[in-house]
Structure 1
Amino acid sequence: MKRTAAFATTACLLCLAAATAATAPAAADYSGNPLAGDNGFGVIVQDDAVLGSTETEGSVAIGGNLTYGPGYNVALHTPGTFTAPGDDHPTALLVGGRIDHAASAPQGVLQVLNDGYVKVGDPTGSSVLDEDSNGAQVNTHIVAEGAGYDSTPRVQQTVHQPVESVTDTTGLPDLDALFADFRDRSDAIDTCATNVVLRDAEGVPLPDQTGFPAGTSAHITLTEGETNVLRLTGEQLNNLSEITFDNQPDATTPFVVDVDTTGTDGTFVWHIPTLAGVSGDQAPYMLWNFPDATDITIADGDSLEGTIYAPRAHLTDLDPSNIEGSVVVRELTAGPLDADGTVVNAGEIHEFPFATDIDCEGTEPSPSPSPTGATQSPTPTPTPTGATESPTPTPTDATESPTPTPTGATESPTPTPTGTASGPHPSHSHPGPPGHGGGHHHRPPHGGWLADTGTSSTLYAVAGAFALATAGIFLLGRRRRPKH
C-alpha cells in the first residue's frame, strides 16, 4: 500500500509539474486592430477631459467629467458612427460623468456640430433646454442649472434632441471594460519583435547601444507587406529632430512605435519630430504605443501623424500643431484653462482613425536601451582579426546548464521576463492609477539590446518534482526491505 501511495504521489507531482509547464507565461503574438470596440469615436478618454482648444473633427467619448474652453468644436467633419438605441442621430459627444460648467471658461461655448447628439450620464449641475420661451422646439442647449437658453458657459447643438434622450444612457459603451482591453493590447503590442532600423542619410544604422545625440535625423525604410515595429526610449524619441520615411505605411504595411518611458517613471515630455514623407493619408496606418506611460505632455513640435495609444496616461497637449489620428488616453487636457478662462492653443485633432490590423510575432521581453547617463554594460573585448572566438570553457565537473526553452513556444498576453545567462532581471511593475486595471510589467532599462539566453524556471520545477518523487519511492522501498 505504501508503494502504491508513493507511485500516486509521484504521478500527482509530475502532473503538477506538467501543468505548471503548460501554463507558464511567455511572450505573446499579436494580431488585430488595437482600437477594436471603439464604436467609431475618434477621441476616447476613460476618465475626465478638458476640451480647452480648439476642435476635433470626429466624435468624442469621455468616461468621466467634461470641462470646456471658450470655443471648442466637436464633430466638425463627422458625428461618428455610434447611434444609441432609440435615437435618430449618432452620439457625437458622450460624457459618462457630468458637465462641469463651473470649472469651464465663463464665456465658453462648446459646439456639437453635424446634427450630432449628446449623452450625459450625470445631469447634476446642468439644465437641458429644447424649447424657447414660447414653448417652441429649438436646437438643444445644455447650460448651468437654472441658467437661460443662451447663457454661457453652455454646450450647444445644431439639432433638436429631446431632453430625455440627452440623459438616457441605455446601450452606451462600457468605457472601463474597453480600456481594460486597450491596456492588455498595449502590453501585447509592446512585446512585438523590433524589425525597423533607423539609419542616417547614407544608410548607415544609427547606434542603438549608446543612443544618439539630440538633433539626429533618421531615415526609415519599411518592409512591405508586414507590420513594421520600432522600439525607442522616450529620450531616444526626443533626440530625433526628423524622421524621414523612404517609403510609406499603408494598410498592409503598418508602422508601430513602442515607446518605453520606464527610465523616467512613466512621465514623458514629448517634443514631436518632423515626420517627412508621410501625411494624413498615411496616419490611419501609424500607431504610437505608450504601454507604461502615466503622464505625457506634448510640449511642441510638428504635427503628429498617427494614433496616440496611451491607455494608462494623462495626456496634456500644449502644442498648436495638430494630431492626425485617434487619441486613446486615460485622461485628456487638450489646452489647459487659466483661472480667467483663457486657454492654451492645443491645435486640432483630425479624423484619421487607425484602420488596419497589427500582426506581429511576440518575443520574450529583452532589456531596453538605457537613457543617456545610465550605467552601461561593459563593452566586450574585441576578438583579434582572424581568430576564431571560442566559448568560455566549462570548469571540470561543473553542472551542465539546462537546455533553453525552444523558440516559438506559445506565448501569453502578459509576458514574464526571462533572465539572461547571468541571472534573471527583476520585473518592474508599474501599478498605474488606482482602479485602472492594475500594473504593466515592463522590461527593465538596461544597456544594449542583448539576446535573452535564460532558462525557463519550468524546467527546474519539473526536474525538482521528479527528483523529489523518485527519492520518496527509494526511501519507502528501503523501509520495506526484509531483514536477513
Structure 2
Amino acid sequence: MSTTRRRTRTAAIAAAALAGALVVPAGLAGSVPAAQAVVPDTFNPFVAAGGYSIYVREDAFLGGSETEGAVAVGGSLSVRGDGGNYGVIHFAAGTADYTIPTVDGDPTRVLAGQYDSGSAGRLQISNAGTSDPALLGTLKLTQDDPLYGYFERGGFTRYRLAAAPDADAPPLIDIEALPWTDAATAEAATLTALPTVADYVEADMTWTYDEAAQCLADVADPTNGLAAFPTILENTGGRLVLTGVATDRPNVVEYQDIGAQQVQFDPDVALGPQNPLIVRVPAGTTVVNAPFGAEGDTKHYIFYDLSAVTGDVTIQPAVAGGRIDGSIYAPNVDLTAGGSPLDGQVLSQNLDITLGSGETHAYLFRGEVPCIAQEGSTTFDIVKTVTGSGASLVPSDATFLVDYVRDGTDAGELALPVGESVVIANLPDGTEITLVEVVPPDVPGVGWGTPVWSIDGVVQTPAPDGSVTFTVQSGTTISVGLENVANLVPPAPTPGPTPAPGPAELAESGADGGVGLFAALAAFVVGAGALGLTLRRRSARR
C-alpha cells in the first residue's frame, strides 16, 4: 500500500510512493509518518487527527454557528461572514470532557496553514467555558501571509489584513488568549517552528491512511471474525432496532442497511472502547443520511467509516434540522456536513460545514479497532555515504539520484541525501528491485569514482550498466548501501605564452604561403560542410 505524502527530494519521493509506502529521512518527515507500516494490534484511526475535534488535510470552510473543540486545517481556513463572529470555544452545550493539543509548547485552538484572505468572516478564538490555563488555546499558522498583520484589540491580539479599510473589517481572527505586547512578539508566538500542519497533527500516526483503510476493511469482513454484525430486529421506517450488538468487540453495520431516522439496540447495550459501532459506508456513496439521534455518551463510540470513499460526499441528518451523532472518518473525501449539532470528531480531506447549520461539539472518538498484521509485505532502506579525499568538498545538502525499478517497471527516482536513510515499505513478498545511480552531481574539484553497492553489509558486483538487483522477502528489511568515492582533482595547469616564430620559420612559412592559404580555406569549407551536416542530423533527431 502507499500513501501520497511528500528531481529534488520531493519528486523522487512522490514517484517512489507509487510503488511502495515511503518513509522519508527524519529531516523530511513532514506529513509522512516517521515509522510506516506499524499498525498496532488495536488502534484508533482518529489518532491521525492529533487530538483536534476537526482535522482537515487540505481546505476548510466553517459555516455553522460555532465550534466547541479545536480545529486543524492543513491548507486554507475560512468562516462564514453572516451572523456575527464565528466562535471557537471550549464548552457551552456539548461536552467539556476533552483536552486540546499543544503546538510548539502552546495550547492551541486553531492550527492552519493560512487564513483565507478572501474570507468574509470574523473568527473569534475565545476559549469560552473554561479558565484552565491548559485549555486557553491560541492561534498557530504555518505560513507567513504578507497580506496580514498583528494588531491590538481590547488588550489581546487581532490578526487582520494590514490594508483593511477599518480595524473591524473582515477577514480577521481575534486571539483572546494571546495578550498584546507588540506585533513582532505576536508574530513569533503565532508562526510555527515546523513547516506543515501535518507535522504536528499526524505526529503520533504510525501508519498510512491506506494501511488504516485495509485494517478497517478487514474488520468489516465477516470471515475474519474481528467484529460482530448486528441484525435488524425491527424496522418501522422511522425507527430501526438492532439485535446482536456485542460487548467485547466492535460492531459493524453497513450504511445501506440502516435507512432509518433513529437506531436503537435490543437489548439495550452500552457502547464503549471495546465495542464501538462502525457504520461502513461503501465506495461510490455521495450522500449519507445519518440516522443516530440519541443523547448521551454513545456518540464517543460511533463513527462513519468512509475510508473506502473518495470524491464529494454530503453527510446530513436523517431528519431535516436534526443532529448527527458520531464521528466521521473520511481522509480522502471532500466532505460537506452539517447537523444541529454535529456531535463527533471529523477527519476529511476538504470540509464544508454547511452554512446555517448548528454547532460542532468535541465528542472525540474513543473506541479501539483491531487490525490484522498485514503480512506478505516487506521493506528495504538505502543509505548514501560519501568517502575519499574530496569528501569535504561535497555540500552537506547534496542529493544523489537513483533510478528505481520494481518488477521490471520504472518506479521513478529516489533522491538520497548524504548520510540519511530513505525507506520503501509495504512491498509485496518476492518483489524484484533494481537500482542504478544516475550521474552524481558536479562538484568543483571532485572526480567521482565507481559507485560501491552493498546489501546487508556485503559488497555487490554490479551489472555492466552499474545496476544492482535483489528480491525482497516477507517479514524482512533489506539494508542497501551506496558509497560514492570523491577524489580530489588537482587544478589544470595554466598554459604559458606561445613563443613567437623566428625569421627562419617566417621565411619557410612565407615560401609556401599560397599553398598554405589554399589548404586552410579548403579545410574551412569542408569543416563548415561537415558542421552543417551534423547540425541537420541532430535537428532531424529532435
TM-score bucket of the superposed structures, by smaller chain: 0.5 to 0.7
| Contact 1:140–1:158 under 8 Å retained in 2 | yes
Q: Which of 320, 330, 350 is 1:310 aligned to? A: 330
* Inter-CA distance 242–312: structure 2 relative to 1 (3 Å threshold): same
Where does residue 57 of structure 1 map in the other structure?
A: 68
1:181 aligns to what?
Answer: 208
Residues 243/413 of structure 1: CA separation in 2 closer, same or farther (3 Å cut): farther
Tell me the equivalent position of 2:290. 272
Match of 1:258 in 2: 280
Specify the alignment match of 1:116 in structure 2: 137
Match of 2:29 in 1: none
The residue aligned with 2:90 is 76
* TM-score relative to the length of structure 1: 0.56
Which residue number corresponds to residue 162 of structure 2? Answer: 145
For 1:201-212, list aligned pairs within 5 A.
201=234
Residue 331 (structure 1) aligned to one of 339, 350, 357: 350
CA RMSD of aligned residues (A): 3.2
Equivalent residues of 1:280, 1:324 under 8 A apart: no
Q: Rg larger in 1 or in 2?
A: 2
For residues 380-409 of structure 1, the C-alpha deviation after alignment (integer angstroms, 9 at most, x for no partner) is: xxxxxxxxxxxxxxxxxxxxxxxxxxxxxx
* Match of residue 241, structure 2, among 218, 232, 235: 218
Conservation of the 8 A alpha-carbon contact between 1:141 and 1:156: yes
1:238-283 per-residue CA deviation (whole Å, 9 max, x = no partner) reads x2333112312012322222211x3xx3x421222244xx434122
Contact 1:30–1:189 (Cα < 8 Å) also in 2: no
Pair 1:55–1:183, CA change in 2 (3 A): farther
Give the aligned partner of residue 188 of structure 2: 164
Matched residue, 2:492: none
> In structure 2, the residue corresponding to 1:74 is in which secondary structure?
strand
> Which range is displaced more, 348-357 or 139-148?
139-148
CA contact (8 A) 1:186 1:289 kept: no
**CA pair 80-140 structure 1, distance change in 2 beyond 3 A:** farther
* Paired amino acid for 2:64: S
SS at match of 1:284: helix
Asked whether the equivalents of residues 325 and 343 of structure 2 are also in contact (C-alpha less than 8 Å), the reply is yes
Structure 1 unaligned residues grouped into runs of 5+? 1-27, 207-212, 336-343, 363-409, 415-456, 459-484
CA shift for structure 1 position 359: 2.6
Q: Distance in 2 between matches of 1:173 and 1:357?
A: 22
Name which of 279, 300, 306 aligns with 1:284. 300
Q: 2:233 aligns with which of 200, 205, 225?
A: 200
Distance in 2, matches of 1:282 and 1:352, equals: 10
Shift of 1:164: 1.6
Match of 1:243 in 2: 263
- Does the 8 Å contact 1:130/1:160 carry over to 2? no
1:210-261 deviations in Å (ceiling 9; x for gaps) = xxx976733244211222222x2x5434x2333112312012322222211x
- Sequence identity of aligned pairs in percent? 24
Does 1:190 find its partner at 2:217? yes
CA distance in 2, matches of 1:346, 1:303: 10
Q: Is the 8 A contact 2:57 2:198 kept in 1?
A: no
Name the SS of the counterpart of 2:188 in structure 1: helix
Aligned positions, number? 303
How far does the alpha carbon of each residue in 1:321-380 deviate from its partner, in whole angstroms, 9 at most, with x for none? 222111011110012xxxxxxxx22222111111232236x5xxxxxxxxxxxxxxxxxx
Using a 3 Å threshold, how does the CA distance of structure 1 residues 29 and 118 change in structure 2: closer, same or farther? closer
Q: Which residue of 2 aligns with 1:397?
A: none
How far apart, in 2, do the equivalents of 1:180 and 1:227 lie? Answer: 20
* Runs of at least 5 residues in structure 2 that lack an aligned partner in the other structure: 1-38, 128-135, 180-185, 223-227, 378-428, 431-542
Normalised by the size of structure 2, how large is the TM-score?
0.50
- Secondary structure at 2:215 match in 1: helix
Contact 2:151 2:160 in 1 (8 A): no
Q: 1:189 to 1:50 in 2, by over 3 A?
A: same
- Does 1 or 2 have the higher relative contact order (CA < 8 Å, sep 6+)? 1
- AA aligned to 2:365 is F
Structure having the larger proportion of residues in strand: 2
Letter in 1 for 2:240: S
8 Å CA contact 2:292–2:325 kept in 1: the answer is no
Q: CA deviation at 1:45?
A: 0.6
The code of the aligned residue for 2:356 comes to N
